Structure 1
Amino acid sequence: MKRGIADHIIKWAAIAVAAFCLLPMVAVLIAAITGNTETLSHLADTVLLRYTLTTLTLLVTVCIGAAIIGTGAAWLVTMTQFRGRGILEVMLALPFAFPAYVMGYAYTDFLDHAGPVQTLLRDLFEWGPRDYWFPEIRSTGGAAMMFILVLYPYVYLLARTAFLRESVSANNAARSLGAGPWSAFFRISIPIARPAIAGGVLLAAMETIADYGTVSYFGIQTFATGIYTSWFSLGDRAGASQLALALLIFALFLAILEQVQRGSAQSHNAGRQDVRPNRAQLRGAKAVGAWLFCALPVLLGFVLPLVLLFEMSFESEQVLFSDRYLGFIKNSLILASTAAAVTVSLAIVLASFRRFQPGRLANAAANISRIGYAVPGGVIAVGLLVPFAALDNRIDDFFEATFGIDTGLLFTGSIAVLVMAYMVRFVSAALFTYEGGLSTMHRNVDDATRTLGFGSVSILGRIHLPVLRTSVFTAFLLVFVDVMKELPATLIMRPFNFDTLAVQAFRLASDERLEGAAVPSLIIVAIGLIPVILLCKRIAQRR
């Protein structure tokens, strides 16, 4: 294949991927503008203000909580020395394996009125139902706590990297001049690592507004639940699109902020990366306090919910190896593996376009494709169902009028469209991972290979992919796990009678069968642990 033809194929394939990623956003915009506003007017008069306030309350609470825990824990394990620091440094990433809605199922069973905690309190103090007050787990505060426990690793991992790579030399210099550890933390470490911390907080914020399972189960009215209610309960696609557009605008605003912070984070370099931190030795009460600060997120965000899920699963009537459950597992694996393969392949196309034909068009294609990560799954689902439903209707009308054949729904509710929704949502993660590996290969390698007569496709197949197989596998694994945990788009777009582990867990929890929901939840967590374990190994190697 000639070089020019290969480059054109890569170029137009990358443009097609970017255009498809943009399709849901454009469809939501058109549907919101052209649709009637009756539902939106009704929502504005009743619950729209509540949606807004609840969503903003969740965001602010989660951002503050994730920032405090993630930044504090990252600094303690990086810049101080106390007993257990090495183990906690690795284990602080483990809550990443839990979806927030699974965490919610575990804690609801544990803390609800009929749960073991309140039952023990009533038995010990002989209290009646009205004799005491206990925080309600199914509340905005309870949902915020679930999000904080599973999302603080975003801030922790980015802040820890920033402390190690950027603030070590400056922190050591400040300590040598007589500054104490806390003075160095607030005056040196935090200002230098601020862009990385802000980037982690914004990622946590985007995950919060994208969630549907947790807020729906807790009975909290947010924009995510409003979209689902408008689409299914009220049957108003225009109203759902209008709510989706409002959420999309806010998500894009967060995405722009994250891009700005990422660019700022790349501009700091306070010293050599191989400088070891001059850790302050903590003893006595300070050491105990540091240990508790780092251990509590691990205990509450991983150990306790894992134990609770195991205990709940033993009390359930769900048979893991029954034909029904094997079907759920099979469906989940098919969707996750197919979506991961498609997403990673298209991410490689996008990255290759930027590599072989750098310029504004290549950068624009990559940046447009990254937008999907900031868009909630429910918004993407609405944005794809609207045009594909219209296409199905056009095809059906044509065949009905021409041949008298009723084609029904060819695309809407199909696995193919659901896989493309996953691609739009997660191609950014695959692209970021693959480009991270690609950046380690100097462009001189490509130039030298071209002098031997190789074209872009040959370089990709014979040089890039063999050398970057670890990055490709990591990207595949990340997308695979994300799809296994994804709920909003799956609930809205899945084919009829095609349920996944996430859908089964959500359905059982919605029916208050929490013991049964523990079984599919445990499988999801077990699969989610795979990339987290790999990440923990990398942390241990770099320590």
Structure 2
Amino acid sequence: MQAAALVTAALIAIPLLTVAASLLPGAGSQTWAHLADTVLPSYIASTLYLCVGVGVGTVTIGAAAAWLVTMHDFPGRRMFEWSLVLPLAVPTYVMAYTYTDLLQFVGPVQSWLRTTFALAPGSYWFPDIRTLGGAVVVFTLVLYPYVYLLARSAFLERATGMLDVGRSLGLGPWRRFFRIALPLARPAIAAGAALALMETLADYGAVSYFGVQTFTTGIYRAWFSLGDRQAASQLAAALLGFVGLLLLLEHASRGRARFDVSGSRHAGHLGTRLTGPRAAGAILVCSVPLCGGFLVPAGVLLHMAITSGDAQFGERFIELSRNSFVLAATAAILAVAIAVLLAYAARTARGGLTRHVNRLVGLGYALSGTVIAVGVLLPVTRVDIWLASAIMDMTGRNPGLLLTGGIAALVYAYLVRFLAVSLHTVEANLGKITMSMDDAARSLGHGAATTLWRVHLPMLRGSLLTAGLLVFVEVMKELPATLVMRPFNFDTLATQAYTLASDERLTEASTAALAIVAVGVLPLIFLTREIARSRRER
């Protein structure tokens, strides 16, 4: 089992190592030199500005919402507790399409303003959503739940007892927040912000639609417009360096701080009761990101899908849904199976090699789908050519591209990108099973494989379902890797929505976009309500 786990992990790590190898001496190209002299500075500046804006926005909204729903009691708090996570179901590129349609010159908002106030075209100023600032707003509305979830957990587990001590010492609400709660939750907030920023760096659909020049758009342009895979891989390696720097900063922000969780946790903490204007303010603070991040885009998509929608809704839509489902289900099943193999191998290993390898393969989630595509296609294409040559020598028939010509290479890219999602879920729940159960199974003569099959898998059934569900939703939303690696004439709901929106056919794109949101929102509602219920039962 150890050998199988190490071989599997090595296969998952190959694309990451391929991208990193593009920075070795002698790997340069004329295209790379041209990019470095012309557009690379703008890529760096835009990426930094986007990260700073999204970081500030997600931390402000996520921490404030988490503080309100955790430490206060006001009308609607229990509903906000789980619904504030719903924006994660909306892909950033879908959010970009809906707000563009809503706020453009011929959209409903500006049309209403001109009609209501008798404004002539060109006689008023209205912010343009398709700018770098607009991208910051869109990413913030979609990604703040990462900070919200982790900050809320930190407030629940670490802050309640300390806040009671602060109250007994005469500290007011604001001083308790800034001097006690916020420092205690800082590592969790930093981790949530890091996740949000990694998603920002990984995005292609929204930034390309808004015309924002970042590393991901540069990779796509170098590959398809300039036809230089080497330059694309070097841009991907530079983006990998950005991600590594981000992870180092997140780790450094924690320093040597360690926080112990009290035995009582949040039991019995009812929160400060808010009434009147303070309750209205809390409701407003929680309603704005929920409405802006989920209710408004979902409502716009639903309206467009009902009134106009995709003219090819019938057979073509069924084909797109089938393609998306096959890819997502295949990737989810394989990701869960590989996660079980890697997690159980690390559990039974005597040394720490397997654990370190698991951390390496988990880096794929921090990378853009475009970067993963670059790392996958370079080695897989060589294998494809070798296989075709070998088969032709043996049979005299050219089989074509077996891996890149179908969905195999695309599923491989999904596994590299999203294996960490299932691996972390399985590891966390496997760690809750006491080692005494392994010892008992071993005393009865069962080996490692039999113990896994007869003892651990039945106990992990719920977590395996959760892991598969999370990977399924992520693959349904994934755009960059699918755009780059999909076989000829093979489209999914994500690529259909992007293609139609890029052609300014926003109403037609609404059908596919709404289907993606619907697939994502149902698991999120289930998972968040389960989390809330389990915490109330503690």
TM-score by length of 1: 0.94
| Counterpart code for 2:103 | L
Deviation at 1:534, TM superposition (A): 1.5
**1:11-90 alignment runs, 5 A limit:** 11-33=2-24, 34-90=26-82
Moved more, 92-101 or 80-89: 80-89
2:211 alignment counterpart: 219
| Counterpart code for 2:3 | W
Deviation at 1:379, TM superposition (A): 0.6
CA distance in 2, matches of 1:289, 1:526: 30
Moved more, 400-409 or 479-488: 400-409
Does residue 130 (structure 1) correspond to residue 122 (structure 2)? The answer is: yes
2:481 alignment counterpart: 489
Does residue 254 (structure 1) correspond to residue 228 (structure 2)? The answer is: no
CA distance in 2, matches of 1:396, 1:491: 24
CA distance in 1, matches of 2:86, 2:55: 19
Deviation at 1:253, TM superposition (A): 2.9
1:100 alignment counterpart: 92
- Post-superposition CA distance 1:339-394 (Å, at most 9, x none): 00001100001100111114211211211111111111111100110111222334
Kept in 2, the 8 Å contact 1:14–1:365? The answer is: no
Does residue 382 (structure 1) correspond to residue 374 (structure 2)? The answer is: yes
CA distance in 2, matches of 1:222, 1:425: 20
Does residue 285 (structure 1) correspond to residue 277 (structure 2)? The answer is: yes
Structure 1: runs of 5+ lacking an equivalent: 1-9
Kept in 1, the 8 Å contact 2:493–2:516? The answer is: yes
Structure 2 vs 1, CA of residues 257 and 239 (structure 1 numbering), >3 Å: closer, same or farther?
Answer: same
Percent sequence identity over matched residues? 50
| Counterpart code for 1:244 | A
CA distance in 1, matches of 2:245, 2:131: 27
Structure 2 vs 1, CA of residues 402 and 473 (structure 1 numbering), >3 Å: closer, same or farther?
Answer: closer
Alignment partner for residue 109 of structure 2, among 108, 117, 122?
A: 117
Deviation at 1:278, TM superposition (A): 5.2
Structure 2: runs of 5+ lacking an equivalent: none
| Counterpart code for 1:23 | I
**1:524-535 alignment runs, 5 A limit:** 524-535=516-527
CA distance in 1, matches of 2:401, 2:12: 22
2:187 alignment counterpart: 195
CA distance in 1, matches of 2:4, 2:105: 55
Kept in 2, the 8 Å contact 1:172–1:278? The answer is: no
Deviation at 1:482, TM superposition (A): 0.3
Does residue 240 (structure 1) correspond to residue 228 (structure 2)? The answer is: no
Deviation at 1:113, TM superposition (A): 1.1
Structure 2 vs 1, CA of residues 190 and 308 (structure 1 numbering), >3 Å: closer, same or farther?
Answer: same
Structure 2 vs 1, CA of residues 514 and 335 (structure 1 numbering), >3 Å: closer, same or farther?
Answer: same
Deviation at 1:41, TM superposition (A): 1.6
2:344 alignment counterpart: 352
| Counterpart code for 1:414 | G
Deviation at 1:324, TM superposition (A): 0.9
Moved more, 311-320 or 446-455: 311-320
Structure 2 vs 1, CA of residues 260 and 329 (structure 1 numbering), >3 Å: closer, same or farther?
Answer: farther
Kept in 2, the 8 Å contact 1:196–1:261? The answer is: no
CA distance in 2, matches of 1:260, 1:329: 43
Partner SS state of residue 114, structure 1: coil
Deviation at 1:35, TM superposition (A): 3.9
Partner SS state of residue 512, structure 1: coil
- Post-superposition CA distance 1:120-172 (Å, at most 9, x none): 11222332332111111111111111111111000001100110011111011
CA RMSD of the aligned region, Å?
A: 1.9
1:411 alignment counterpart: 403
2:461 alignment counterpart: 469
CA distance in 2, matches of 1:278, 1:74: 15
Deviation at 1:439, TM superposition (A): 1.8
CA distance in 1, matches of 2:463, 2:248: 26
1:171 alignment counterpart: 163
TM-score by length of 2: 0.95
Kept in 2, the 8 Å contact 1:227–1:243? The answer is: yes
Kept in 1, the 8 Å contact 2:160–2:266? The answer is: no
CA distance in 2, matches of 1:265, 1:78: 23
- Post-superposition CA distance 1:196-224 (Å, at most 9, x none): 11000000010000001111111111000
CA distance in 1, matches of 2:240, 2:198: 11
CA distance in 1, matches of 2:257, 2:473: 27
CA distance in 2, matches of 1:520, 1:432: 30
Deviation at 1:403, TM superposition (A): 6.8
Partner SS state of residue 130, structure 2: coil
CA distance in 2, matches of 1:198, 1:369: 22
Deviation at 1:489, TM superposition (A): 0.5
Partner SS state of residue 167, structure 1: helix
- Post-superposition CA distance 1:430-487 (Å, at most 9, x none): 0111112112211111111110001111111011110110000000000000000000
| Counterpart code for 1:490 | T
Does residue 306 (structure 1) correspond to residue 298 (structure 2)? The answer is: yes
Deviation at 1:416, TM superposition (A): 1.0
Structure 2 vs 1, CA of residues 109 and 414 (structure 1 numbering), >3 Å: closer, same or farther?
Answer: same
CA distance in 1, matches of 2:254, 2:520: 26
Structure 2 vs 1, CA of residues 265 and 532 (structure 1 numbering), >3 Å: closer, same or farther?
Answer: farther
Does residue 517 (structure 1) correspond to residue 517 (structure 2)? The answer is: no
Moved more, 91-100 or 403-412: 403-412
CA distance in 2, matches of 1:256, 1:407: 46
- Post-superposition CA distance 1:15-51 (Å, at most 9, x none): 1222122211221233454544211121122211111
Kept in 2, the 8 Å contact 1:165–1:273? The answer is: yes
Structure 2 vs 1, CA of residues 125 and 358 (structure 1 numbering), >3 Å: closer, same or farther?
Answer: farther
CA distance in 1, matches of 2:507, 2:350: 53
Moved more, 275-284 or 199-208: 275-284
Count of residues in correspondence between the two structures: 534
Deviation at 1:396, TM superposition (A): 4.3
| Counterpart code for 2:17 | V
